[in-house]
Amino acid sequence: MRKPLIAGNWKMNKTVSEAVDFVNRLKSHIPLNPPGDSFRGMSDVEVVICPTFVTLSEVGKILEGSSIKLGAQNMYMQENGAYTGEISPLMLKELGCRYVIIGHSERREYFKEDNKLINAKIKLALKYQLRPILCVGETLSEYQDNQTIDVVRTEIREGLAGIDEEQMSQVAIAYEPIWAIGTGETATPSDANKVHKIIRKIISDMFDAKTGEKTRIQYGGSVKPDNMSALMEQPDIDGALVGGASLSAESFIRIVNYDKKD
C-alpha cells in the first residue's frame, strides 16, 4: 500500500524568523514518538516541508529528530562550479534535505526549464540520494484543447528518460494542472483521479506494472483543508503538493490530518 506523501511548498515566502516560528508550531502538534499518537502524519502519512533556500539550515535544525522531512524547492544540474546564484545537490544533502521539487510549472514558465534540463536534475538528485518530486501538468489552453494526457505523457517520458526501476522507486510524481495553481480552482476529485490513473499507466508502460503500482502520485493545485479529504478518497491520489495553504501552520496541520473514510 502506498503511503501518502504531503509536501508543503512555501515558494518565495517566509523570512528565517517566520519559518522558525512556523516549524516550531508545526512540531508542537507532532510528537516525536509515533505509537499511539492520533496525528495522522506520524504513521499514516509522510510529511515534507520545502522552505526557501535561505531558511533551509534553520528549519532543518528544528526538524532534526522529528518525523517531518526537509525538502528543497529546486536545485541546479551540476555538483559545483561557476554558476552564480545556483544551489547544488551537495549543498542540499549537507543541510539534511531528503526531497527536492523538480520541474514545477513556475520553473518551467518563468525560468524556461525544459524536459531535458529537468531530466538532468532528476538524475543528479538521485545520484546524491535526494528524492525528486517531479511536477507535471497542463496549462489552461492545453486543458481546454483536450491536450492534458499528451502534455503529461511527454513531461513524464522525457523527464524520466534513462531512469531505471530501482531509481524510480525514489521518485514521486506531482500532477499539478497549471490552471488550478494559486487560482482557487481545482480539478474535481474524480477528474484528478482519472489523470492520476493515466499517469500510473504511463509509468507502468515505461517501467513495469509493479513500479507503476508503487509510485506515489500527488495532486497539486489549490489544495485546501476543505477539499483534501475528498481528494484523498480517490484510489490513485497518494497525497498532495500544497502551495498557499502550507503557509499557515494551522491550515497545513488540517491538511495532513485529513479525515479519510475507510
Q: Which residues pair with 46 in a beta bridge?
A: 5
Neighbours of 139 (CB within 10 A): 17
Q: What's the pLDDT at 262?
A: 44
For 59-96, write each residue's pLDDT tens digit: 999 999 899 999 999 999 999 999 999 999 999 999 99
Copy the grid coordinates of residue 92: 542540499
The answer for residues whose C-beta is within 8 angstroms of residue 99's C-beta and 6 or more apart is 7, 48, 50, 69, 70, 71, 72, 130, 131, 132, 133, 172
The answer for residues whose C-beta is within 8 angstroms of residue 35's C-beta and 6 or more apart is 43
255-to-70, 225, 250 alpha-carbon distances in Å: 18, 5, 9
For 183-215, write each residue's pLDDT tens digit: 777 789 999 999 999 999 999 999 999 999 999
pLDDT surpasses 50 at 33: no
Separation between Cα atoms, residue 185 and residue 194, nearest integer Å: 17
pLDDT surpasses 50 at 34: no
Separation between Cα atoms, residue 245 and residue 249, nearest integer Å: 9
* Residue-range domains of the chain with CATH: 5-256 (3.20.20.70)
Q: How many CA atoms lie within 13 A of 117 on its CB side?
A: 12
The residue among 37, 7, 35 whose CA lies nearest residue 256 is 7
Could you give the residue ranges of the DSSP H alpha helices within the chain? 16-28, 56-63, 89-94, 105-110, 115-127, 140-144, 148-159, 165-168, 189-206, 209-214, 225-232, 249-256
Binned at pLDDT 50, 70 and 90, residue 1 comes out as confident
Q: What's the pLDDT at 179?
A: 87
Residues catalogued as catalytic: 104, 176
